[in-house]
Amino acid sequence: MASLTSKQWRRVVLGCPLAWSHIHVSILPKQVVEENDPEWCIEEDYLEWLSSPRGKARPLDLWAERADASTLSLSVRAACTVPHIEVNIANTIRALHSHFHKFRHLHLVTDTAVFEDVLVTLFSGVTTTWESIQLALDRRLDRSSHIAGMMSDSHVEIPKLWASLRNSTKLRTLSFRRCLPILPEEHQGGASRLRSLSIVNVDCDYGRMLQILSHCPNLSTLHLSVCPPSASSATAQVAEPSADTHLSPVPLPATPIFFPSLSRLSMHQMDTESCQIILQHIKTPILSFFSLWNHGLSEIEGRIMAGEKTYDIMAPFGEAVVTFAAQASQLRTFHITNSALPDRHLLQVLGHMESLEELRLKRMNIGGLLFRGLSRATKPIASRPVLCRSLRRLSLFGCEFVTDDHLEDLIFARSARRSLTVPISFLEVDRCKNVTQEGMRDLKEEDPSLNCTIVRGQEDEVEVEVEVDES
């Protein structure tokens, strides 16, 4: 687009190979509105070519040529119901064939798992240079009537993936969205090459997920956003096998899975039971970054209304997180969002994070108990140790029970002369209704070295109101 603005911009863009290194191809039905697609590219669209002020097409191979020696990324969005789809794909491969040795990153978005499997086979066959592959299912790509069987929401497995990638020896990053890899025994060795794995927005029983992870022992980054199918649960892993063996439940592993190189772990938008099961079955001795995002009190609202206490409901999950933190003592960054984890369990978790430097709490029902624990900065005793001695950065988002007094006590205690901790140098407060601008100004006046910010606003989500444990 910039090359059509003026001669000067055209010279700038043509002289910048990186501007041409990302090639996007869309092969979608006419009723799908491409203008709203961030990956849409005018260079491959016939109608845009007709209206181009320069009046000539810029084919795919020209993009690759203008990228010069830069490594290339290819993004393909395609629907299997497009007429002559196989011809369109073949033409794309043919146009880029002489440049495939420069391609490193592949992103495929399709409407069915079967079609995704076909495309992976095709594009892994033209080059073995792929270093990262992202696969996603988006059923909105085709708004026509779905093909029976192929378009079923439950059909998300990509069975030929590992066989197709067996020669991609440089592959280190795999990402799945709304789809799931099947790992046949004869191709399990290939998964050990992976360093980064992301599995997002897919239903999968715990045993199957852990089975996949067990064959990726050399991961350094793992991102999960999964939930069990409604028919499965932590206590029901021995259901009757289905006709499709790929969908049969898999038993939980007998021993925890060891990840000697895993440094970053994210578990986002997952219920506490799923997080609990996975955390109980993995060991990550050098983990430095951990992000945990649950569904808040909404997943236990019914039990709260029935009279159960939040602490009792969350005890199994809290104990699992505490046990996990005990073996991940090298954590430096901990983010926890929308979790019903009580203050007492969170304090126990932080008690194992001696190297923690950054703590981010978002939409958490935390209060005085947690801040009193973090404010103990002198004279440790057996039952009340000094927590997180290296903590420098604290971010609070939507924590409605946090007050000015809590923050004042915390900042002053950890910056006192006799404190055994480093002072907090960065404080960020966003939409915490009981923290005021005046209170933050007072903190800044008392400690000019403190970098603190506050944002006032309304929470987007309504949480179930509960009593904060102040004991």
Q: What is the pLDDT along the chain (471 residues), one digit of tens a residue?
A: 455 556 777 777 778 888 888 999 999 887 654 444 444 444 444 444 444 444 444 578 888 888 888 999 999 999 998 999 999 999 999 999 999 999 999 999 999 999 999 999 999 999 999 999 999 998 777 555 444 344 444 468 888 888 888 889 999 999 999 998 877 776 677 789 999 999 999 888 899 899 999 999 999 999 999 887 653 344 334 333 333 444 577 899 999 999 999 999 999 999 999 999 999 999 999 999 999 999 988 888 888 888 988 888 999 999 999 999 999 989 999 999 999 888 889 999 999 999 999 999 999 999 999 999 999 988 776 667 899 999 999 999 999 999 999 999 999 999 998 999 999 999 999 999 999 999 999 998 888 899 999 886 544 443 333 333 333
Block residue for tokens 């097409």: 57
Cα Rg for the chain, rounded, in angstroms? Answer: 26
Can you give the length of the chain in residues?
A: 471
Closest by Cα among 451, 389, 395, 457 to 420: 389
Q: Where are the beta strands (DSSP E) in 13-99?
A: 22-27, 72-78
Q: What is the pTM of this model?
A: 0.84
Cα–Cα dist 452/445, whole Å: 11
Q: Which of 161, 95, 155 is nearest to 122 (CA)?
A: 161
Three-state DSSP class for residue 196: strand
DSSP 322: H
Q: Among residues 142, 63, 138, which one has the least CA distance to residue 103? A: 63
Tokens of 361: 């709490």
List Cα–Cα distances, 291 to 8, 252, 425, in angstroms. 46, 23, 22
Q: Where do the DSSP E strands lie in 331-379?
A: 333-337, 358-362
**Residue the block writes with tokens 């609070």:** 396
Q: Which residues are bridge partners to 227 per DSSP?
A: 203
- Alpha helices (runs of H) in 151-309, residue ranges in sequence order: 161-164, 188-191, 206-214, 272-280, 301-305
Q: Enter the tokens of residue 89.
A: 């794909």
What does the pLDDT read at residue 155? 62
Distance (Å, whole) CA 129 – CA 80: 26
CB atoms < 10 A from the CB of 458, how many? 7
The rounded distance, in Å, linking the Cα atoms of 90 and 76 is 13
Per-residue confidence (pLDDT) for residue 342, from 0 to 100: 86
User: How high is the pLDDT of residue 187?
Assistant: 67
Torsion of CA 123, 125, 131, 137, to 10 degrees: 40
335-358 per-residue burial string, b: 16 or more CB within 10 A, e: under 16: bbbbbbbbbbbbbbbbbbbeebbb
Q: Angle formed by the axes of helices 272-280 and 310-327, to 10°? A: 30
Phi, psi of 380 (to 5 degrees): -70, 140
pLDDT value, residue 237: 41
Tell me what pLDDT residue 68 has.
87
425 vs 448: CA distance, rounded Å: 10
Most distant CA pair in the chain, distance: 79
Residue 23 makes CB contacts below 8 A (sequence gap 6+) with: 41, 60, 63, 64, 72, 73, 74, 75, 96
CA-to-CA distance for 176 and 380, rounded, in angstroms?
46
Torsion angles phi and psi, residue 25, rounded to 5: -125, 125
Comparing C-alpha atoms, which of 204, 207, 211 is closest to residue 184? Answer: 211
What are 362's two structure tokens? 């978002």
